[in-house]
Each structure stands twice: as structure tokens, then as C-alpha cells.
Amino acid sequence: MKKVGLALLGLGVVGSGTYKILVKNREYIKNYYGVDIEVMHVLEKDVSKAEALGIDKKIVSTDINNVIKNPDISIVAEFFGGIEPARSFLIASLKAGKSVVTSNKEMFAKNWGELETAAKEGNAGLYFEASCVGGVPIIRTLQESMQGNNVLSIMGIFNGTTNYILSNMADKGLEYADVLKEAQRLGYAEANPSADVDGFDSMYKLSILSTLAFHKKVPLDKIYREGISKINKKDIEFGKEFGFTLKLLAIGKRVNGKIEARVHPSFIENNHPLATVKGSFNAVMIVGDNVGDIMLYGRGAGDLPTGSAIVSDIIYCAKQTEHSLTVFDGAKDADFTDDFESKYYIRMSVADKSGVLAKITGVFGKYDVSIDAMQQKQSGDAASVIFFSHKNSEKNVMRAISEIKSLAEVKDVDAVIRVVD
């Protein structure tokens, strides 16, 4: 039986979940996978967290040297979150020949190249299944199950907090701020929710997943990002009237040999597979040129779901005789599109008098923005006008909107939401 020494860096929610799975499944893992995984050291300030899990406090410390200098530890699983000290501790571990398992998407997305270099130097492995969409096994699907395809697109709901907020706004008819408060009370949203609601978390995951999908580096600064904090319940309701559901989508696509990567609120038709993904659930759709559509669905956060992805990486890593680190070998930076095409939902408040619509549609025409449908909703002496456009260049739509905002008859352009097929 292969014995494998493991260190856990941090015993927060996911670290504790991982430990619980390893203890509960130890015999099963020995029997079916032929490895005996033993937690040999834990880095954690709060010893009571270790004691609550039945971990002997003799193996708990705050000194990374207790991990790096222990020759019996071959795998380091990191649960700190944030950039430092996670980054430095993992680089030191890799250089010392210890393989790394991490769920830390921000640190990973920002330092992937440096981590790979350190792993090569130490002849160690680098595993990150839990970094994207928690318990949903998307990383190894892309790395190992899609070789018979060119991936044409990867798109999904990569963030549970925002999906919980948008689902509740839609189902209960509540405003964003009220649902956010409730989500914070229930522990679905952080006290500072920016990483989730402003789309950063989805962007980190999209960078990692589209790099794997397209075999090209997709850096964060090439991803368009827009969050959900300006979403008004009115738009969710109007969307419903037209048969649309609102989701925060992360989208990576190959378009004429270039890569397009974006995160933004999106209307999708109610019969779109992603429209059925509700609450804090996540889902990823991949389109391969040979297999066609694939969809993976599951929990993107939580102690046991994310722990399950971490344990899968630990076992996978423990069974390798040689680690493969191929992502950046020969992978040049991608060419990126500098514009993209989308359909749009545009709501504006306008003076309700003759000639206003002609002026607005004149501006759309000037920028070659083609309108599919329009509806007016009355409120007092102003009117809300909703336009649905055909597929148009984003740049042209934004130019048109900027000019429309300057028209005296237009009080404001209240919402611009992309409509995704």
C-alpha cells in the first residue's frame, strides 16, 4: 500500500470538509485506489478548529517549515484563500518537491505561470480541480476527456452567490439590496460581497477554464467583466414577460480564430439549459466540435462539495508516477477579439411625446444597430421604452447608447443587458 503524507494549510470550511471526507473514506480510498493518505501536519492559528475535528494538536502549527522540511509529506493542500501567504507557501512547497492541491482561484489565476515554473523546478504536481465551480468536475473533464475535440465555447454560471441572488430576485420579486442582505444573513454572501457580485470570482474561473479549453493563456485583463449590483427587479420582471431569465454568465468562445472572454448579466430564454440552474447551484456548458454540447451541473461551494474535488485531486496526485504540467508548454498568448456581437435588451426613460422614438431609432440607425422589437410602458408623464436588438457589435451599441443619453428627450438609459443564445 502506498503511504502518502499530506499537509493541510488552513482548517476553514473547505479544509475541514476535506479532512472529514479523508477520515470517513480512508478505508474506501485504501481499498479502491491503493493509497493510504495520512494528514501529517496542519497549519492553523486556531488550534480549537483542529481539536474539534479530532486532530492531535501536536501536528498543528503556524510554521510552513514544519511542512517543507518534513520528508514524509508529499502533498500540500491549501485552503487559506487570498494571495499571501498562500502563494509563497505553495511556491516554496513546490520547489521542495511537494505537490500542491488548491481551490484558491484568485491566487491561481493570478500566479499560474509562476506556480508551474516552481512545480517544474521541484518535479512536483499542481492540481486545482476545486478552484473552478467547486465540486463540479470540470478541470479534468477539460484536461482529459475533451482531447477528441476543439472546444468551441465554454459558458456557464460559475458563481453560486450571484445565482442565488438573481434566482431570489426573480422568484420573490425582491430588489437586489434586500436579497443580498438575506444572502449575507444565511451565509451565501460574504460581508464584503464584491468578489462575487462584481464578477471577479467568475472572471478568475473563466480565465482558468478558458485557458484549459482553448490551450491558450487567457489572462484576467483580457476578460470583460460586469457584475450584478446594478440589476433592478423591474428588468427581471420585464425580461420574464418576454420569456427570459437573468443569469450572471461567464462566456469564453473561439470566434474566427480569436478568443472572446466575458462575464456579465445575461438574459437567456427560459428554455435554455442554464435557465433551470437555480439558487446557489453552478453549471458549465462546453461545446466541442465533435461531441457537441455537454453540461455539468452541481454545487460550486461548501465544505463537502469543494472537499470532494480536493480529495479527488489528492488521490489523483498520489497515484501519479510522473506529473504532467503541460499548460504553458508551447501555449502562446491567444489573439483576442476587440469587440463582440450580442443581442441587447435596452430600457430607457423618455418623455412621452411625438418624435421621441424617431430620434432614438435614428441614432440606432446611424450606428448600424438593428432593432428587433420595441415596447413602451407608461408611468406618469414619462415612459419606459424597451428595445430588443438583433445581433450587433458591442462597440456600436455602446456608441449609440452614449449618443442617445445626450438627447434632451431621454431622461436616462436605465438598463443595458445582453441577450445570449
Please, what is the Cα angle at 111 between 336 and 226, to 5 degrees?
50
* DSSP alpha helix (H) spans, 3-104: 13-24, 26-33, 47-52, 65-68, 86-95
Closer residue to ligand HSE, CB minimum distance, 194 or 375: 194
CA dihedral (254, 255, 260, 265) in degrees, to 10, reads -100
Active site (annotated) includes residue 120: no
Closer residue to ligand HSE, CB minimum distance, 55 or 139: 139
Does residue number 337 form part of the binding site for ligand HSE (CB under 6 A)?
A: no
- Selected range binding ligand HSE among 155-163, 229-237, 339-347, 355-363, rule: CB under 6 A: 155-163
Quick one: which of 68, 140, 126, 136 has its CA closest to 281? 136
C-alpha cell at 171: 422568484
User: Which 93-112 residues touch ligand HSE, going by CB under 6 A?
Assistant: 105
Closer residue to ligand HSE, CB minimum distance, 97 or 302: 302
Closer residue to ligand HSE, CB minimum distance, 303 or 409: 303
State the minimum distance, in angstroms, from the CB of residue 192 to ligand HSE. Answer: 12
- Pick one of 99, 104, 153, 161: the residue that binds ligand HSE (CB under 6 A): 161
- Pick one of 129, 201, 226, 394: the residue that binds ligand HSE (CB under 6 A): 201
DSSP 217: B
- By CB neighbour count within 10 A (0-12 exposed, 13-18 middle, 19+ buried), where does 325 fall? middle
Does residue number 196 form part of the binding site for ligand HSE (CB under 6 A)?
A: yes
Does residue number 159 form part of the binding site for ligand HSE (CB under 6 A)?
A: yes
Does residue number 156 form part of the binding site for ligand HSE (CB under 6 A)?
A: no
* Count of residues in the chain: 421
- Pick one of 156, 160, 199, 252: the residue that binds ligand HSE (CB under 6 A): 160
* DSSP alpha helix (H) spans, 56-131: 65-68, 86-95, 105-122
Closer residue to ligand HSE, CB minimum distance, 239 or 298: 298
Quote the distance between the C-alpha of residue 8 and its chain's center: 24
Active site residues: 205
Question: Which stretches of the chain bind ligand HSE, using CB under 6 A?
Answer: 105, 159-161, 196, 201, 300-301
